[in-house]
Amino acid sequence: MSLENTSVNKSYGGWTKHYSHHSEVLNCDMRFAIYLPPQTANGQKVPVVYFLSGLTCTDENFIQKAGAQRMAAELGIAIVAPDTSPRGDDVADDEAYDLGKGAGFYVNATQAPWNRHYQMYDYVMNELPQLVEATFPVTDHRSIFGHSMGGHGALVMALRHPDRFKSVSAFSPIGNPVDCPWGQKAFTAYLGEDRSTWAEYDASLLMRKASGAVPALVDQGEADNFLAEQLKPETLEAAAKASGYPLELNRREGYDHSYYFIASFIDDHLRFHAKHLSA
């Protein structure tokens, strides 16, 4: 699979790069960002953390706003940030911000017209890691984290595939999408009216019955405008309590849903992942 390097910026001794490539899974051209820490300059392979962004975001938001490069350079870990949905003129879309482009929800769509392109689950789980590991100096030790819609995606992937990830974390995740407006709208469009198919993409439902455990860290701002209606962290807490899942959930007074919140605690999350990636 051919990659086109579209930008390069040196940062904390390493390199922040953007690439485009054709995705067979998504049937369109895609972009992703990668930060390669200075340890890779001599060919040393490093573990990699995947970051999944939230609604309306692209591959650029996290890599530009989170301030993750300094700690990633210190810890010697790579970061990969994919886009949030398929892109292109022939890709199905919706006028609303919470459906279509920028709102892929990290599921494999089964309903037309979305199923032609919206296979973000398989893209993030399989196609992108295969490409990254074949191209860049990274090991097959992976962790995953995300924000909001991306926090939902990260938790779901780690819960469904505990053998694939060393750790998982999330900022302000959509914890119970089957029971919130964002999730219900997206799942109805992408997955159809049969709600039994939605459960495999709901972190709270998956955590409640989890058999394998990936260490999990969640940070939630108490001043988040979406807290009560959309995010519902209490459902994750209840699920973890019911199953004994190793979840650490921190409620952060005064913090909202923005990248100011993410940047404030990004070092904690990267240290958390580095600890488990090196174990």
In the predicted model, is pLDDT for residue 42 greater than 90? no
Provide the β-strand partners of residue 221: 252
pLDDT over 70 at 266, yes or no: yes
Fold of the CATH domain 3-278: Rossmann fold (3.40.50)
- How confident is residue 55, by pLDDT bands cut at 50, 70 and 90? very high
Of the residues 117, 172, 224, 276, only one is catalytic, namely 224
- State the chain's mean pLDDT as an integer: 97
Which amino acid makes up residue 253? E
pLDDT tens digits for range 226-236: 999 999 999 99
The beta-strand segments (E) located in the chain are 3-11, 14-23, 28-36, 46-52, 78-82, 138-147, 168-171, 216-221, 247-252
Q: What is the pLDDT of residue 212?
A: 79
Residue 1's pLDDT is: 61
Q: pLDDT per residue over 122-169, tens digit each?
A: 999 999 999 999 999 999 999 999 999 999 999 999 999 999 999 999
Cα–Cα distances (Å) from 189 to 63, 95, 105, 151, 194, in that order, read 29, 14, 11, 20, 11
| Residue 176 and residue 182 in contact, taking contact as beta carbons nearer than 8 Å | no
Give me the catalytic one of 141, 147, 257, 276: 257
Q: Which of 53, 85, 143, 148 is catalytic?
A: 148
- What residue has token string 């972009």? 31
Contact 27, 19 (CB under 8 A): no
- Please count the other Cβ atoms lying within 10 Å of the Cβ belonging to residue 134: 9
The answer on pLDDT for 211 being more than 90 is: no
Domain residue ranges of the chain, discontinuous segments joined by +: 3-278
Q: How confident is the model at residue 279 (pLDDT cuts 50, 70, 90)?
A: confident
Looking at residue 3, its pLDDT comes to 94
Mean pLDDT of 21-37: 98
Digit-coded pLDDT (tens) for 86-120: 999 999 999 999 999 999 999 999 999 999 999 99
Query: Is the link from the previous residue into 113 a cis peptide, with omega within 30 of 0?
Result: yes
Phi, psi of 233 (to 5 degrees): -60, -20
Q: Which amino acid is at 140?
A: D
Tokens 């970051």 appear where? 51
Active-site residue, 257 included: yes
Query: Residue 219 burial (CB < 10 Å; 0-12/13-18/19+)?
Result: buried
Is 169 a known active-site residue? Answer: no
